[in-house]
Structure 1
Amino acid sequence: MVPFAGWEMPVQYSGVIDEHVAVRSSCGLFDVSHMGEIEVSGDGAIDFVQFIMTNDIERIKDGQCQYTLLCKEDGGVVDDTIVYRFNIDRFLFVVNASNAEKAFGWMKKVQAKEQFPDVSIEDLSPRYAQLAVQGPKSVEVLRPLLDIDPEEIGHFHFHMGLLGGEIEAVVSRTGYTGEDGFEIYLDPTDAPAAWKAIMETGRVHGIKPTGLGARDTLRLEMGYPLYGHELGEKITPIEASLGKYVKFNKDFIGREVLEKQSNEGAERVLVGLKMLDTGIPRQGYEIQNSGLSVGEVTSGTMSPSLEVGVAMGFVKTALKTPGTAIEVIIRGRAARAEVTTLPLYKK
């Protein structure tokens, strides 16, 4: 167990590699109740939501969810989030645990400054636990427990119903692993019973309880950003290679800066890295090209799926082409690597 954003979190149960392989081949169960939940509701809620997020909420319907970013005026990222659209007057933002208080306060300040008097913003984090069922066997694991066939829940759609016949839950087909999977929101008092029920139905499919360690290696293989590594208040979505989640057909906070950066290009950009020499790249390691410093690793690991050192990092935009030779400075040694496309792991 390790402290994380005020929570005690399990790094591993049976082992990071064992859990990682289980998610890629069968199924893993995560307790991610540390995530924050902020509800935006009331008359004008959709206009407020459109203004604070980079993506376009009008592109999804009630019962769907969408990945987006919340940005400051200078384009720096307050947080990245999944927003759930219940109806035109009710939305739920699922935010990172380390940013929940900050994101809530930022939304309240924007509301006051921009005058959305009929919009209500509530931090509902204490009311929600969250479990994630991830892996190719996720549908089979949940089928005996849900009041509908989980296969009927489309990707980035959600269902409000019963789990185990009596536990009220919101179930979305989303995740942070790159595998098929579901995230389940429920009352914290129901979480132990839900965990037990999922482990029971998942036993025949080889389900494994999965901790933070495997969650990190899984998301890294997929090139998914982690706030504090690939994202931050000094990093823009354009720099983080997340431009497809920024829609310029509407107004939003930070639009002017991001549109200029999108048109003119950023000085640095997030890329995938694959080691050619032995060694594991880690956050903060220097990236060089022909002996010159050109960037820094943001996340790195030994990939359990690829069995090679992999990383993400920022480099000068001129070096973003896949196949570009670079070096990662590992304990004073220049280890050969190359720029590669994201995701690093492809099924």
Structure 2
Amino acid sequence: MTVNPNPHMLLYPRIRKSPFFYASRRHGVQMYSVYNHTYHPRHYGDPIAEYWALLEGVTLWDVGVERQIEISGPDAFDFTNLLVTRDLSTCKVGQCKYVFLTDQHGGILNDPVLLRLEENRFWLSLADSDILLWARGVASHAGMDVRIEEADVGPVQVQGPKSYALMRDLLGDSVADIRYYYLHDYTIDGIDITVSRTGYTGEIGYEIYVHHASRDAERLWDLVWEAGAPHGLQVIGPCHIRRIEGGMLAHGADITVDTNPFEVGMGYDWMVDLDQEADFVGKQALRRIKAEGPRRKLVGLEIGGAPLGSYNDGSMIDAFPVHHDGDVVGKVTSACWSPRLEQNIGLALVPAELAELGTTFTVDTGERPGALLPSGQDLVEAVVVPKPFIDPTKEQPKSDPRAFGDASDGAAASTPSH
């Protein structure tokens, strides 16, 4: 039988649409996936060209699939602190935090960006897993006075070195005052938005959260597109090459409910505060895991063989088995060809005792478009290397964005980490 390497995805009413669905579709979406039960543009024809557009210019992404769970009410702070592994007493109003939500066993349910809008009002900008019903169930069990709902809010990302120049033209010079992992509210042409200096790229970038998205999302998209025209704005899908280079995690691939924060490594241990007063969900399990040590670790790999794809192009249908001494011991969870490094790179979950730098494996890159060998016969060498692969301290996204604009924009200033 003949395998169709690129079957179509059915567009029909049963699957949710992003509030930007029809706006982003105008730019020639070539591939969709489903994320949070919602159609998501993955690329517009050439993921490698999109990668370079992100690194060299400014790009616009439809990420309306990042559903916003709003938590409000008299007990909203205490309840949200119960959900996440970080101590939110250090999170100011107007600040964002990258957080883990874990279950009672310490498994990662989601890794959203949290936005603190008011003392007792938060958004969780979700990765690809259901949290609304989980949060409502925890609230019911905890007996707290909170309201939990999916807000009518849709985000787009504006990412790349020229993103500040676009945002300045769109919203004014005050955009320069938005620090890394902070937010600010604006109104533009009667549209209420929240802008955060965050993104899924490791580059200078912003996320624009459109309030009343079901009404105003497309109009906001058009305003951004108009402001971006002088800067060469390009519409792209999420750039997985760049996020793998930066060691950023994809829920459902690199992390799932079957992984815990101490397996993830890459400096994410600080995201679990076991000394805080709050008895967050999973705290006791994570205390035990930390004491015993994780049995697996997520490592960075340089992978040999022919160039892989861009991850979001259908070239990696499933995780790649990792072999050591003749046995399958783990899996490559995300992998791609890095044009800058001129190397296949990936993230792999392997036994902790095999996670040391320099450990060598064989990886089965399997059957993929263009491959001549069936799965199990396309074995290549791989070696554990430091990660993230590029900019491990995230100096790029923390840079003063004015340094990437006009010469008159001023000198660089320091900004805090998140």
Residues 299, 387 of structure 2: 8 Å contact kept:
yes
Residues 277, 337 of structure 1: 8 Å contact kept:
no
User: Which of 7, 11, 17 is residue 42 of structure 2 equivalent to?
Assistant: 11
The answer to whether structure 1 residue 46 and structure 2 residue 77 are counterparts is yes
- 1: CA distance between counterparts of 2:41 and 2:389? 25
The answer to whether structure 1 residue 122 and structure 2 residue 153 are counterparts is no
1:11 counterpart SS class = strand
1:143 counterpart SS class = helix
- In structure 2, runs of 5+ residues without a counterpart are 1-30, 310-315, 366-374, 397-418
Residues 279, 335 of structure 1: 8 Å contact kept:
no
Q: Which residue of 2 aligns with 1:137?
A: 162
Amino acid at match of 1:333: D
The answer to whether structure 1 residue 244 and structure 2 residue 274 are counterparts is no
1:50 counterpart SS class = helix
Distance 1:301 1:77, change over 3 A: same
- 1: CA distance between counterparts of 2:76 and 2:39? 34
The answer to whether structure 1 residue 280 and structure 2 residue 308 are counterparts is yes
Q: Which residue of 2 aligns with 1:195?
A: 221
Which string of whole-angstrom CA distances, capped at 9 and with x for unpartnered residues, describes residues 50-88 of structure 1?
111001111121100101111110011111111111222
- 1: CA distance between counterparts of 2:33 and 2:285? 36
User: Which of 294, 297, 317 is residue 266 of structure 1 equivalent to?
Assistant: 294
1:314 counterpart SS class = strand
Q: Which residue of 2 aligns with 1:344?
A: 389
- 1: CA distance between counterparts of 2:306 and 2:236? 28
Which string of whole-angstrom CA distances, capped at 9 and with x for unpartnered residues, describes residues 253-272 of structure 1?
11111122122211101111
Q: Which residue of 1 aligns with 2:20?
A: none
Greater strand share, 1 or 2?
1
Residues 22, 206 of structure 1: 8 Å contact kept:
no
Amino acid at match of 1:324: T
- How far off is 1:147 after superposition? 4.5
- 2: CA distance between counterparts of 1:319 and 1:205? 47
The answer to whether structure 1 residue 204 and structure 2 residue 234 are counterparts is no
Amino acid at match of 1:334: L
Residues 79, 95 of structure 1: 8 Å contact kept:
yes
- How far off is 1:9 after superposition? 2.7
Identity of aligned residues (%): 31
- 2: CA distance between counterparts of 1:321 and 1:136? 35
My pick for the range that moved more, 64-73 or 187-196, is 187-196
Q: Which residue of 2 aligns with 1:161?
A: 186
User: Which of 47, 53, 60 is residue 22 of structure 1 equivalent to?
Assistant: 53
- How far off is 1:156 after superposition? 0.5
Q: Which residue of 1 aligns with 2:340?
A: 305
- How far off is 1:155 after superposition? 0.5
- 2: CA distance between counterparts of 1:253 and 1:300? 32
1:298 counterpart SS class = strand
- 2: CA distance between counterparts of 1:341 and 1:166? 48
Residues 132, 175 of structure 1: 8 Å contact kept:
yes
User: Which of 99, 105, 120 is residue 89 of structure 1 equivalent to?
Assistant: 120
Distance 1:91 1:220, change over 3 A: same
2:42 counterpart SS class = coil
1:296-335 alignment runs, 5 A limit: 296-330=331-365, 331=375, 332-335=377-380
The answer to whether structure 1 residue 235 and structure 2 residue 263 are counterparts is no
The answer to whether structure 1 residue 77 and structure 2 residue 104 are counterparts is no
Residues 299, 347 of structure 2: 8 Å contact kept:
yes
- How far off is 1:196 after superposition? 2.2
- In structure 1, runs of 5+ residues without a counterpart are none
Q: Which residue of 1 aligns with 2:370?
A: none
- 1: CA distance between counterparts of 2:232 and 2:166? 10
2:240 counterpart SS class = helix
- 1: CA distance between counterparts of 2:217 and 2:45? 21
- 2: CA distance between counterparts of 1:269 and 1:287? 13
TM-score when scaled to structure 1?
0.92
Q: Which residue of 1 aligns with 2:197?
A: 173
Amino acid at match of 2:191: I
- How far off is 1:3 after superposition? 4.1
- How far off is 1:287 after superposition? 1.1
User: Which of 126, 136, 145 is residue 108 of structure 1 equivalent to?
Assistant: 136
Amino acid at match of 1:2: Y
1:339 counterpart SS class = strand
Which string of whole-angstrom CA distances, capped at 9 and with x for unpartnered residues, describes residues 113-155 of structure 1?
1111x2111121xx11211001111111110111452111000
Q: Which residue of 1 aligns with 2:368?
A: none
Distance 1:269 1:306, change over 3 A: same
2:171 counterpart SS class = coil
Residues 42, 89 of structure 1: 8 Å contact kept:
yes
Which string of whole-angstrom CA distances, capped at 9 and with x for unpartnered residues, describes residues 93-112 of structure 1?
1112x42xx31111111111
Residues 69, 148 of structure 2: 8 Å contact kept:
yes
- 2: CA distance between counterparts of 1:64 and 1:206? 30
- How far off is 1:319 after superposition? 2.0
TM-score when scaled to structure 2?
0.77
Residues 63, 155 of structure 2: 8 Å contact kept:
yes
Amino acid at match of 2:34: F
Moved over 4 A (4+): none
Residues 303, 380 of structure 2: 8 Å contact kept:
yes
